[in-house]
């Protein structure tokens, strides 16, 4: 019987109540589960049990997954995901069912794929790292409100952030060009989804070797409300007010140090260097439909100058 190290965030939105039916499904499928001590660091727990288990199962949201990232990178144990958070953006990117019990079937099927991780100042992240609005949102979003009201809690906090938002000066270097601008936010994505289903780019994949960047350089922050449907579909690059770039590395510099939010957690500060850790983690996931799509699109864009 295969053994899995179980890491469940009981404080996630569905962690306290939604995990047990999914765990019952895993056990019924023949997977034995062991758990770390309640106060044990998750990456340390993965390292300590690497020879005793054949997989790691994380129940929680994107912040929970980030907490396990370092241990997963070092041990190369395959990762099973039970989506129990508010956004569950890595699950969306991988095409996993958002129903926790249905998601366990993906683990039981046993199909895996290697995925990239983003890296900011030496710290890994799965989805998107950003400077600006998202940091203020993370500071204003009360954990209890997030757990009780989910995405509605995000909407309330976001309205407060937008009402007091001010642009800041940023320098963006993609290795070929260096640009200065006034922005409300710079976001650099490794996967496709962030913020509960917004897309960093419509063709982004989590194993394409490309980072996608956007910078919100509109004169009025309320223009962002009008562009919201385009962010949802990852088509915001069609607008002049949104600087859009893709590359393997970026460097971001601001006049004063600014916090960086990645996978819903504050993990670094500017100045910041972003890069990709290729094939860093193995995950249980359905077969990818077109893993090289955004890489091809990026090459076409650079050669022809066309937007895709």
pLDDT of 265 above 60? yes
- Strands (DSSP E) along the chain, which ranges? 3-8, 32-34, 55-60, 79-83, 112-120, 123-125, 128-132, 168-173, 178-183, 185-189, 193-194, 198-199, 211-216, 242-247, 250-254, 259-262, 265-269, 272-284
pTM: 0.84
pLDDT class of 222 with cuts at 50, 70, 90: confident
Q: In this predicted structure, what is the pLDDT of residue 231?
A: 87
Domains located in the chain, CATH noted? 3-110 (3.40.50.10330), 123-277+290-304 (2.60.200.40)
pLDDT at residue 140 above 80?
Answer: no
Q: What is the pLDDT of residues 50-101, one digit of tens each?
A: 999 999 999 999 999 999 999 999 999 999 999 999 889 999 999 999 999 9
Q: Residue 220's pLDDT band (boundaries 50, 70, 90)? A: confident
Q: What is the pLDDT of residue 87?
A: 87
């Amino acid at each position: 019987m295969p053994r899995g190290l179980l890491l469940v965030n009981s404080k996630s939105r569905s962690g306290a109540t939604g995990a047990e039916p999914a765990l019952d499904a895993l056990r019924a499928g023949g997977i034995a589960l062991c758990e770390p001590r309640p106060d044990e660091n998750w990456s340390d727990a993965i390292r300590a049990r690497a020879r005793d288990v054949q997989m790691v199962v994380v129940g929680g949201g994107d912040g929970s997954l980030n907490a396990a990232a370092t241990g997963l990178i070092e041990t190369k144990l395959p990762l099973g995901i039970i989506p129990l958070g508010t956004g569950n953006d890595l699950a969306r990117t991988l095409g996993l069912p958002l129903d926790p019990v249905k998601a366990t079937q993906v683990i039981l099927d046993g199909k895996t794929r290697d995925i990239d991780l983003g890296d900011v100042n030496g710290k890994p992240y799965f989805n998107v790292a950003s400077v600006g609005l998202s940091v203020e949102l993370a500071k204003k979003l009360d954990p209890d409100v997030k757990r009780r009201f989910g995405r509605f809690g995000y909407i309330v906090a976001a309205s407060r952030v937008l009402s007091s938002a001010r642009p800041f000066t940023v320098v963006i270097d993609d290795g070929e060009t260096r640009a200065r601008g006034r922005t409300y936010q710079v976001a650099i994505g490794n996967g496709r989804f962030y913020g509960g289903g917004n897309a960093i780019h419509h063709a982004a994949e989590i194993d394409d070797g490309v980072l996608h960047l956007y910078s919100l350089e509109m004169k009025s922050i309320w223009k962002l409300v009008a562009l919201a449907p385009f962010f949802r579909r990852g088509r915001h690059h069609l607008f002049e007010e949104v600087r859009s770039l893709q590359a393997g590395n970026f460097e971001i510099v601001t006049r004063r140090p600014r916090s960086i939010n990645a996978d819903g957690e504050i993990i670094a500060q500017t100045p910041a260097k972003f890069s990709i850790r290729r094939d860093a983690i193995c995950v249980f996931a359905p077969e990818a439909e077109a893993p090289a799509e955004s890489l091809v699109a990026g090459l076409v864009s650079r050669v022809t100058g066309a937007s895709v």
